[in-house]
Amino acid sequence: MSDTKIKIAIGADHAGFEYKEILKDFLQDYEVKDFGPYSADSVDYPDFAHPVASAVENGEFTYGILLCGSANGVAITANKHQGIRAGLCWKNEVASLVRQHNNANVLCIPARFVSVDEAEQITKTFLTTAFEGGRHQNRVEKISC
C-alpha cells in the first residue's frame, strides 16, 4: 500500500451529526476533512452534501461520506453532480455491491436506521472494496447525462 493516505470528505445534517463525529474517530487511518455541520443544530442537508460531492468530483478527495436520517436527501443531492456515484447503504452487503458494481465514490448512510457498529462496518466495507470493472465498466460509463 502507498504511503499516501486515502482522502475522505465527510459531511452530514443534524440527524447524522453524531455518527459523523464517531466515524471521524473510526477513520483515523485516513486523511479526513469534516465539511460540517459542527453541531447537532437543525441544518439543511444540501448545504453539506454539495460541498462534499464537489470535493470528490474535483478530485481533491478520493471518497465522500454523507450521513442524514434516511440518507435519501444526501444521496439525491450528491448524485446531482455529474462525477458522483453516491450509494445509499443500510447493509454491509449493499456497501460492497455499490463499490463492486457501481464504482460508487460517495457513501450515504441512514443514521436513523443503522447502529453505530453497522455504520462503521458499512464504512470499512465501502472503503476496502474494489470496483470489479469488466462488464460493470460499460454500465458505469453510461450513468452520466
Q: Which residue among the candidates 14, 81, 89, 101 is catalytic per the annotation?
A: 101
Q: Which domains does the chain have, with CATH numbers?
A: 7-141 (3.40.1400.10)
Residue 3 is predicted with a pLDDT of 54
- What is the average per-residue pLDDT within 98-116? 98
101 in catalytic set: yes
68 in catalytic set: yes
Could you say which DSSP state residue 91 is in?
Answer: S
CA 52 remoteness from chain centre: 9
Q: Using one digit for the tens of pLDDT, what is the confidence trace for 21-74?
A: 999 999 999 999 999 999 999 999 999 999 999 999 999 999 999 999 999 999
Q: Which residue among the candidates 68, 81, 89, 108 is catalytic per the annotation?
A: 68
The pTM of the whole model exceeds 0.85:
yes
pLDDT band at 128 (very low <50, low <70, confident <90, very high): very high
Name 6's Cβ contacts closer than 8 Å, sequence gap at least 6: 30, 31, 62, 63, 127
